[in-house]
């Protein structure tokens, strides 16, 4: 796992994205979230621009087969929250998160449904009393690249699951790229 994955979550937990606050994009693009009719947000949604990085703390890498019981509970909770998150992730939002391939992203018009995303645990953090937070990673889509064949870009989603309260607290949406060698 790249350290960037863990860094994203730390960013969200430290910057306040874990407090049901409205996300802010630093690119100057406005993004509007639809609020549920019943009131409060079902979970925090943190938007991290492509290539934005923050300091890494607290998280430990874990095996993909770690925490099977917690994974089951996280995925059940995610299914309840997924429809709201899915409404927020528009092609316009993805283009606003893009730091690279701006011209190539102009033709990006639809985000695949989140129901197809497979999650795996990539990191965890002990919170005491046999409880933990688990960082789950999923890939939503492969995105256009400014250097096809050299750089691959993905629309990623990370979920922060809290085993103490059996809930997915935060969804983190970002774009990651990797130079293929």
At 42 the pLDDT is 79
Separate counts of helices (H) and strands (E) for the chain: 4, 6
Considering Cα of 55, then 92, then 77, then 158, what sign does the dihedral take?
Answer: negative
At 23 the pLDDT is 42
The two three-digit tokens of residue 22, written as one number? 């409205």
| pLDDT digit string, tens, across residues 62-116 | 999 989 999 999 999 999 999 999 999 999 999 999 988 899 999 999 999 999 9
Q: Give the start-to-end residue ranges of the domains of the chain.
A: 3-179
Of residues 3 and 85, more confidence is placed in: 85
At 151 the pLDDT is 92
Specify the 3-state DSSP secondary structure of 87. helix
What would the mean pLDDT of 12-16 be, rounded to a whole number? 39
| pLDDT digit string, tens, across residues 120-160 | 999 999 888 889 999 999 999 999 998 888 999 999 999 99
| pLDDT digit string, tens, across residues 23-60 | 444 444 445 556 565 656 778 898 889 988 643 457 88
Query: At residue 16, does pLDDT exceed 90?
Result: no
Q: Residue 95 CB: number of other CB atoms within 10 A?
A: 19
Considering Cα of 6, then 7, then 10, then 11, what sign does the dihedral take?
Answer: negative
Q: Exposed (0-12), middle (13-18) or buried (19+): which is 2, by Cβ within 10 Å?
A: exposed
The two three-digit tokens of residue 127, written as one number? 């919170």
């Amino acid at each position: 796992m790249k350290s960037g994955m863990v860094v994203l979550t730390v960013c969200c937990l430290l910057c306040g994205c874990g407090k049901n606050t409205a996300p802010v994009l630093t690119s100057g693009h406005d993004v509007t979230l639809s609020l549920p009719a019943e009131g409060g947000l079902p979970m925090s949604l943190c938007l991290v621009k492509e290539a934005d990085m923050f300091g890494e703390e607290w998280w430990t890498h874990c095996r993909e087969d770690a925490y099977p019981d917690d994974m089951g509970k996280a995925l059940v909770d995610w299914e309840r929250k997924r429809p709201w998150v899915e409404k927020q992730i528009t092609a316009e939002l993805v283009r606003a998160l893009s730091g690279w391939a701006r011209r190539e992203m102009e033709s990006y018009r639809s985000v695949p449904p989140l129901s197809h995303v497979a999650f795996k645990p990539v990191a965890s953090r002990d919170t005491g009393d046999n409880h933990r937070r688990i960082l789950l990673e999923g890939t939503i889509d492969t995105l256009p690249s400014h250097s096809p064949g050299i750089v691959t870009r993905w629309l990623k989603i990370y979920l922060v699951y809290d085993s103490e309260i059996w809930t997915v607290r935060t969804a983190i949406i970002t774009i990651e790229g990797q130079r293929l060698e």
